[in-house]
Amino acid sequence: MKKLYEYKIVEKKKIKYIEMDGEQFRINEPAIISASRSTDIPAFFSEWFLNVLKRGYTKRINPFNQKPYFISFENTRFIVFWTKNPKPLIKHLDEINTLIKGKEDDYQFYFQFTLNDYEKEGFEPNVPPLKERIETFKKLSEKIGKEKVIWRFDPLILTDKLNVDALLDKIERIGDEIHDYTEKLVFSFADIGIYRKVRNNMAKAGVNYSEFNNAKMLEFGEKLSALNKKWNLKLTTCCETVDLTQFGIEKNKCIDDELIEKISHGNPKLMEWLYGEKNYEKYLKAKDKLLQTDFSEDRDKQEEAKKEIKRKIAELKRKLKDKGQRESCGCVKSTDIGAYNTCMHLCVYCYANTSPETVKKGYSEFIKNSE
């Protein structure tokens, strides 16, 4: 099979296009891949993902205008995985890391691992049993490091049978098991009313839900913060406007440039992307100065000097907020792969699926459409 760059490539206004079968298709060359907000690639498409990485590119249909474009992995140096079940992907992680030019045991990715407990409610009909998912969480953490496995309890859903305290009981049972295997808990409050297809699927499933109001959000934040005293995890919200900082709860970046920079250990390709060509050299000089800062006779002076250098480094970074996400989203730019209406977990609250019937059809067609 031909590599993407064996086809004719043209460039218009700094944007690359590939000429294929008499047509021109835009090429995206991301440094960071998001796999995926659209579907659960680790759970259902792990073999496909490994194969397209080896090939060097994949085709994706824009979900908004239905136009195809190509994603090249030529410059990809980091992956953020989103999943409820990474177990099928774990056996491929070493090879994936090599394909994106990571060093042995220096994994250039992290996982947003959604580990909910809605077994009794039946909201997630096709996820593995909770006990098995907890064991997978631990296994993954032991393999790649706990800073690379982020626990999400997402979304939080209120019903006539589920109140704030019941949700906290579920979180506590999971947290008691996995708090030594992660550093962060991310949560969000279900936005059901704004998604018609979610409302329809919840109604079909007979779920008598209610939206979180501000008072309920504050109640949850306060009680979760108290519960977290025994775990000491970093608590964050995903894409929420409510301010819970009084409880020590921050707003999250799910595609997090600071975490990526930490994990990648200054990977030159990533750093040049994060800081831009003009500031990259300044970044290297500031980083070198930071490493050399040593006022051992005055610890306070040393810490102040380091803080000042870190502030200057932060100012050098490009403004990379992902404009394709909601205003309250803190994520930096990445390129999502995968497709909506393909996730066979069939969660009743999912915004990415229209209906079980549509998903079953989309699942069978996905790989063919991405060739």
Q: Which helix (H) or strand (E) holds 16?
A: strand 15-20
284-312 residue pLDDT tens: 888 787 777 665 567 777 778 778 877 88
**C-alpha span between 201 and 246 (Å, rounded):** 35
User: Do residues 9 and 75 make contact, with C-beta atoms less than 8 angstroms apart?
Assistant: no
**Which pLDDT score, from 0 to 100, does residue 366 have?**
85
DSSP 101: T
**C-alpha span between 301 and 348 (Å, rounded):** 55
Q: What is the mean pLDDT of residues 256-271?
A: 89
Give the pair of three-digit tokens for residue 218. 């504050």
Among 94, 349, 28, 12, which residue's Cα sits nearest to residue 197?
349
Burial of residue 297 (number of CB atoms within 10 Å: 0-12, 13-18, 19+): exposed
Of the pLDDT bands very low, low, confident and very high (cuts 50, 70, 90), residue 86 is: very high
**Which pLDDT score, from 0 to 100, does residue 211 have?**
93
How confident is the prediction for the chain on average, in pLDDT?
91
DSSP 205: T
Among 62, 340, 40, which residue's Cα sits nearest to residue 49?
40
**C-alpha span between 262 and 331 (Å, rounded):** 16
pTM given for the model: 0.92
Q: What is the mean pLDDT of residues 69-80?
A: 94
Of the pLDDT bands very low, low, confident and very high (cuts 50, 70, 90), residue 148 is: very high
Q: What is the mean pLDDT of residues 237-259?
A: 96
Burial of residue 214 (number of CB atoms within 10 Å: 0-12, 13-18, 19+): exposed
Residue 371: pLDDT over 70:
no
**Which pLDDT score, from 0 to 100, does residue 65 have?**
85
Stronger pLDDT, 101 or 342, i.e. the higher one: 342
210-224 residue pLDDT tens: 999 999 999 999 999
277-286 residue pLDDT tens: 888 888 888 8
Stronger pLDDT, 271 or 63, i.e. the higher one: 271
**Which pLDDT score, from 0 to 100, does residue 116 have?**
98
